[in-house]
Amino acid sequence: MKLLFVCLGNICRSPAAENIMNHLVAQAGMSDRIECDSAGTASYHTGNPPDRRMRAAAANRDLPMVGKARQFTKADFTAFDLILAMDRENYHNILALDPQGQYRDKVKLMCDFATQHPDKEVPDPYYGGAEGFDYVIDLLVDACSGLLQELETTTAKKV
C-alpha cells in the first residue's frame, strides 16, 4: 500500500504527515506493507528540506522530520494507492490534474480520518506562529492514527 500526502509547498504539513505516518507504521510493525511519500501542488520549494519551524516542533516530540520537497505530478495518480490532501484547495488542485475523474476515488481529505479533532482541513501554519506547527502535529497524529486503523482493517479483510 503506497500513500502520498499532499499540501501546497511540501515543506510543512505533508512532510509532517509522511514522517508521522512512517513513525506510527513502524510502531505497528507494518513498515513492510505501508510506504509513504509526500508532495506539494506548487513547486516553489522543490528540493528544500522540511521547514525549520516544523523540524523544531517535531524534535520537541522526538519525531523524525526528513525529506526533500517535490511537486505533485500526474504520474503520482498511478504510482500511489491513496492520495491524502491536507486541505480543500490541495484536493481541488490535485483533481484538476485528473479531468476525467479516473483517479478521483484515490484522493481523500486527511482530516476525514481524524477522530479527536473536528477540523475539516489541516490549517496552513506557514505564515503563523510556532503554536500553529504544534497544532498541525497534534491533528496529524490523530488523522494518521485513524488512517492506520482503517488500513489495518482493510488489509485484514483482504487476507
| CA distances, 12 to each of 45, 93, 124, 145, 157 (Å) | 11, 18, 8, 19, 34
**Pick 30 or 123: Cβ nearer ligand 4NP:** 123
Establish if 38 lies at the interface with ligand 4NP (CB under 6 A).
no
Closest CA to 140 of 120, 118, 114: 114
Q: Is 61 a catalytic residue?
A: no
Q: Is 55 a catalytic residue?
A: no
| CA distances, 69 to each of 14, 50, 56, 159 (Å) | 10, 7, 17, 35
Of 7-36, binders to ligand 4NP (CB under 6 A) are 7-13
Q: Cell numbers for 34, please give them.
A: 505501508
Q: Is 13 a catalytic residue?
A: yes
| Options 7, 36, 111, 144, the catalytic residue | 7
Using CA atoms, how far apart are residues 42 and 39, in angstroms rounded to an integer?
Answer: 9
**Pick 50 or 146: Cβ nearer ligand 4NP:** 50
**Pick 9 or 146: Cβ nearer ligand 4NP:** 9
Residues that bind ligand 4NP (CB under 6 A): 7-13, 40, 44, 124, 126
| Residues catalogued as catalytic | 7, 13, 124
